[in-house]
Structure 1
Amino acid sequence: MPLVIALHSTAPAVLTGLGWALLAILFGSVVPYGVIWLGVRRGRLTDHHIGVREQRRMPLVYGLLSVLVGLAVLVVAGAPRPLIAMVVVMFAVLLIVTAINQVWKLSAHSAVASGSMSVLIIVFGLALIPSLAIVALVGWSRVRLGDHTVSQVVAGAVAGILIAVPTFVLLA
């Protein structure tokens, strides 16, 4: 998502868009995944899916902190407003999912998929509404893998939309 939004926001300056995207991806994906990878390597986490609820809190908190640092860097450096809005959406979705997952296993995958598709529809128009089928496929896969119930997937998808749409619209 940061790549798509950054490139769209800086068109036709592709290299500029790539630079902003790489910065957002570093703090929004690479660092958080690195924390999880290190946790698995050091034996603190059982797997990269963090299937054990008691192990989730710290990696999620580190992920939130990383996204916040990245957001601050993007704001100070003058990143395009839609990219900043997208990173705020990422932070907000992660924050709500983290909070809910302390007591109930909401599907983060569904929340991210529905939030992402919602932002794409806002940016590129209603012609992308069929892309919401991706959200259904993500949800189906989470249930099929036995990682979530249908209600956890639906709740995640609804949460993603309810968080992403107003946040992006207000900030972009």
Structure 2
Amino acid sequence: MTATPTRTPVDRAARVVTEVCAPGVLVIVILLAVGWYAAPGLIGLGWGILAALFCGIVPYGLLIVGARLGWWTDHHVGDRKQRLVPLSIILGCVIAGIATLLVLDAPGAMLALVAAMLVTLVVTLTITVAARWKVSVHTAVAGGTAVLLMLTYGSFTAVTVPVVALVGWSRVRLGDHTPAQTIVGAVLGATVAGFVFRLLN
């Protein structure tokens, strides 16, 4: 689908939701949240920051730089045909993150979380390339984030679930995805990330 211009107040609101809840942002949030839980005080936060460097900060930065250099349409890589390279780069960053955490003997929860991200990314990349279908990475990460928060901190964090629907709405409103692509993304992220994290943690 071709993204529509951001003109109306509703469109602008959708754009804000899309940017605030971008995959790179939510990945950093969940890594810091689980890091804080996995180890006491600043030590846990340090693990979260280290993992976020590999899984969120560097990949998101590369997407922004790539968009500015014209390598892909925008930092969300709206064109499905352009997604193979950036997703592969992100995959490499996450693998490097896991290797680093293993070498440094990171807490099990951190390793389980990054592994969950890796498997979700592989599944998303497979669907994008093999099925030639642009599943929503935004809702996949949002769905995974909501489930991982619940598995880590308990059921009270279920208040974040409506945010997943809001992210899906924003992607459809902006013309970047169909409703089906956002729903499949959310279900995929929630089930795959949740299963892997629960299995390994």
TM-score tier (shorter): over 0.9
Partners of 1:131 and 1:91 in 2: how far apart? 22
- Alpha-carbon offset, residue 135 of structure 1: 0.9
Unaligned runs of 5+ in 2: 1-29
- Alpha-carbon offset, residue 145 of structure 1: 1.3
Partners of 1:83 and 1:43 in 2: how far apart? 34
Partner of 1:18: 45
Q: Kindly indicate whether structure 1 or structure 2 has the higher relative contact order, using CA contacts under 8 Å at least 6 residues apart.
A: 2
- Alpha-carbon offset, residue 20 of structure 1: 0.8
- Alpha-carbon offset, residue 40 of structure 1: 2.1
Partner of 1:3: 32
Partner of 1:101: 128
- Alpha-carbon offset, residue 35 of structure 1: 2.2
Partners of 1:101 and 1:68 in 2: how far apart? 19
Unaligned runs of 5+ in 1: none
- Alpha-carbon offset, residue 18 of structure 1: 2.1
- Alpha-carbon offset, residue 63 of structure 1: 0.3
Partner of 2:145: 116
Amino acid at match of 2:160: S
1:146 counterpart (175, 180, 188): 175
Indicate if the aligned counterparts of 2:80 and 2:133 stay in contact, CA closer than 8 A: no
Partners of 1:145 and 1:46 in 2: how far apart? 15
Runs of 4+ in 1 over 3 A off after TM superposition: none
Partners of 1:131 and 1:41 in 2: how far apart? 32
2:97 counterpart (70, 76, 98): 70
- Alpha-carbon offset, residue 53 of structure 1: 1.9
Partner of 2:107: 80
Partners of 2:137 and 2:47 in 1: how far apart? 25
Identity %: 44
Amino acid at match of 1:29: G
- Alpha-carbon offset, residue 91 of structure 1: 1.0
Partner of 1:167: 196
Indicate if the aligned counterparts of 2:34 and 2:110 stay in contact, CA closer than 8 A: yes
Amino acid at match of 1:50: V
Partners of 1:41 and 1:90 in 2: how far apart? 26
Question: CA offsets, 1:129-158, max 9 Å, x none?
Answer: 232111111111111111111111111111
- CA RMSD in angstroms, aligned pairs only: 1.2
Partners of 1:149 and 1:120 in 2: how far apart? 27
